[in-house]
Amino acid sequence: MSQPPDPLPSPPDPPEGDNHAASAHLSLLPVLVPAAVCFLALGVAAAAAWKIRQIKASRASAMAPAGGAAPTVAMDPDSPFQATVENRGAAPGPAPEGMVWIPGGEFSMGCDDPRAGVCGGPDAMPDARPIHRVQVDGFWMDRTEVTNAQFARFVAATGYVTMAERTPRQEDFPTAPPENLVAGSTVFTPTAEEVPLTSHFRWWRYEAGANWRHPEGAGTSIDGRDAYPVVQVAYEDAAAYARWAGKRLPTEAEFEFAERGGQAGQRYAWGAELQPGGRWMANVYQGTFPVQDTGRDGFAGLAPTAQFPPNPYGLHDTAGNVWEWVSDWYRPDTYVLHAQLGVVRNPTGPETPFDPAEPDQPKRVHRGGSFLCTDQYCTRYMNGTRGKGEITTASNHLGFRCVQ
pLDDT score at 7: 36
Q: Over the stretch 248-261, which tens digit does the pLDDT of each residue have? A: 999 999 999 999 99
pLDDT score at 174: 87
**How, if at all, do strands 398-399 and 323-329 pair?**
parallel
C-alpha to C-alpha distance for 184 and 158, rounded to whole angstroms? 21
C-alpha to C-alpha distance for 84 and 232, rounded to whole angstroms? 35
Candidates 129, 24, 22; CA nearest to 355 is: 24
**Residue 184 buriedness (CB in 10 A; 0-12 / 13-18 / 19+):** buried
Q: Which CATH number fits domain 1-404: 3.90.1580.10, 2.40.280.10, 1.10.10.10, 3.40.50.720?
A: 3.90.1580.10
pLDDT score at 96: 98
C-alpha to C-alpha distance for 323 and 316, rounded to whole angstroms? 13
Q: Over the stretch 88-102, which tens digit does the pLDDT of each residue have? A: 999 999 999 999 999
Strand order in the sheet with 85-86: 85-86, 105-109, 132-136, 344-345
Candidates 132, 111, 134; CA nearest to 339 is: 132
C-alpha to C-alpha distance for 228 and 148, rounded to whole angstroms? 6
Going residue by residue through the chain (404 aa), what tens digit of pLDDT does each one get?
433 333 333 333 333 445 544 433 222 223 323 333 343 344 434 344 433 343 333 333 333 333 333 444 446 677 899 999 999 999 999 999 999 999 999 999 999 999 988 889 999 999 999 999 999 999 999 999 999 999 999 999 999 999 999 998 898 888 888 888 999 999 999 999 999 999 989 999 999 999 999 999 999 999 999 999 999 999 999 999 999 999 999 999 999 999 999 999 999 999 999 999 999 999 999 999 999 999 999 999 999 999 999 999 999 999 999 999 999 999 999 999 999 999 999 999 999 999 999 999 999 999 999 999 999 998 999 999 999 999 999 999 999 999 99
Candidates 264, 262, 292, 266; CA nearest to 281 is: 266
pLDDT score at 75: 60
